[in-house]
Amino acid sequence: MVEKYLLLTPGPLTTSETVKQAMDFDYCTWDDDYKKITQSFRQSLLDVAQVNADEYTAVPIQGSGTYGVESVISSTISANDKLMIAINGAYGKRISEMADIYGINHVDLVVDEREPITLELVTEYLDKYPDITHFAMIHCETTTGVLNPIEDIIPLVNARGIVTIVDAMSSFGGVPINVKDNKIDYLISSSNKCIQGVPGFSFVIARKNVLEATKGTARTLSLDLYDQYAEMEQNNGKWRFTSPTHVVHAFYEALQELAQEGGVVARHQRYVNNQKHLAGGMEELGFKVLIDEKYQSPIITSFIYPSDDFDFHEFYQELKSDGFVIYPGKISQVPTFRIGNIGEVYDEDITKLLVAIKEIINR
C-alpha cells in the first residue's frame, strides 16, 4: 500500500508539506494573533481578486464551498427579487436546488453540459425576463471541465443593473480574474481549491455597497453573509461562531506560497502546462477528451471511456495502488472519468501518471 496519494481531483487536492505543517498549532478563536491572521488573509484575497478594500470585502464562511454559495443565495436575495441561473453542469443545478429550498423566484437557463454558457443565450433570456434582479453562473464547471466566459457575460449583465454572482470555486487563485473589471458583485470560492489550502471554509469576495444593502435579508442564522461581514469589521477579524483554526492557518500559509510561486499568473501557467501535457499524453494512449479545447479549463479534464467494456472501477483501483487518485465522471450522456491538474502537481507528476496508465492498459 502506498504511503500517500497524489490527488488528481478538483479539490480537496494535494497540498505542500509546509501547508500541512501549518496545522500543527492550536489557536484560540478570540486571540488577537489569530484575528490578525484572519484579517491578513482577507486582505490577501482582495489582492488576488485585484480589488481594493474601499470597494470590496472578503468574508469567510465556515463549511465547504457549497456553504459559501448557499450563504450568498440565501442571505442576499430578497422575496421581491428574481434570480436567473445559467446552468451547464451539476454545480449550476445545485444553485437552482438552493433557490427552490428557500422559495426564491428564479428562472434557469439550461445548456448542454458539454457546451459553455454564451452571452447570446444569456441576453436572450434577460430580454425574455426583464424583471431579473440577480444573475448567477459557474466559472469553471467541474462537472466536465468547461470554462465559462464570465469576462464576456458578467459585465453586460451588470450593465443592466443586475446583481452578479459568480461561483469561482475551482478557478479562483488558479485562473486570473479581475473582479472589479468583470463587474462581479459576489465571487465565491473555497480554501481547498486553487489557493491550495485544505477543506474547512469558503469565502465570498463581495462589493461592499451591494452586500451592505442586504442587511436583514438572511433566511438562516449561520449563513448570514452580512452578519458575518459586520462582525469581522467591528471586531477586527473575529468570526461569529467557532472557526476552523487549523484550516485558517494552513490557508494563510498557502496564500504566502501562492505569492512565492509568482501569483495567479504563474500558477495558472503551471496548471495550463499540466493540462496540455495530460490531454496530449492521454490522447496518445487512446483516450479522447470530452470538451473542445477552446472551452477546456486548466483545472480538470474529462475523458471518454475508450471502449464499451472499459471498467472504471478497476482502472481507478489500479491507479490508486500506484499512488494516483482520480475522479469518476459526472454526466449522463457520455461515460467519462476526470483527472484534475491542480494542487501540488507538476510536470513530472503528469509524466509519472501517464507511465502508470500506459502500464495498466498494456497489462
pLDDT attached to residue 230: 98
Tell me: pLDDT of 321 over 70.
yes
Tell me: pLDDT of 295 over 70.
yes
Distances (CA, A) of 77 to 81, 163, 287, 332: 6, 9, 44, 31
pLDDT attached to residue 195: 98
pLDDT attached to residue 331: 78
The upper half-sphere exposure of residue 67, i.e. CA atoms within 13 Å in the direction of its Cβ, equals: 17
pLDDT tens digits for range 259-285 = 999 999 999 999 999 999 999 999 999
The residue assigned the cell 454572482 is 165
Range 23-34 average pLDDT: 94
Range 196-204 average pLDDT: 98
Grid cell, residue 189, equals 470560492
Burial 284-303 (b: 16+ CB within 10 A, else e): eeebebbbeeebbbbbbbbb
Range 162-178 average pLDDT: 98
Helices (H), the chain: 17-21, 32-49, 65-76, 90-101, 119-128, 150-158, 208-212, 225-234, 245-261, 263-284, 312-321, 347-361
Closest CA to 157 of 175, 136, 140, 138: 136
pLDDT attached to residue 2: 63
pLDDT band at 106 (very low <50, low <70, confident <90, very high): very high
pLDDT attached to residue 330: 79
pLDDT band at 10 (very low <50, low <70, confident <90, very high): confident
Tell me: pLDDT of 236 over 80.
yes
pLDDT attached to residue 268: 98
For β-strands 163-167 and 134-138, DSSP reports them as: parallel
Domains of the chain: 6-12+263-361 (3.90.1150.10), 19-259 (3.40.640.10)
Range in 8-12, 100-104, 287-291 the model is least confident about: 8-12
Q: Distance (Å, rounded) from C-alpha 276 to C-alpha 53?
A: 36
Task: Return the amino acid letter for 252.
Answer: Y
Tell me if residue 85 falls in helix, strand or coil. strand
Grid cell, residue 67, equals 456553504
Give the chain's radius of gyration (CA, Å): 20
Q: Distance (Å, rounded) from C-alpha 193 to C-alpha 174?
A: 8
The residue assigned the cell 469581522 is 232
Tell me if residue 167 falls in helix, strand or coil. strand
Tell me: pLDDT of 1 over 70.
no
User: What does the mean pLDDT of the chain come to?
Assistant: 96
For residue 107, report the phi and psi dihedrals to the nearest 5 degrees: -125, 145
Task: Return the amino acid letter for 56.
Answer: Y
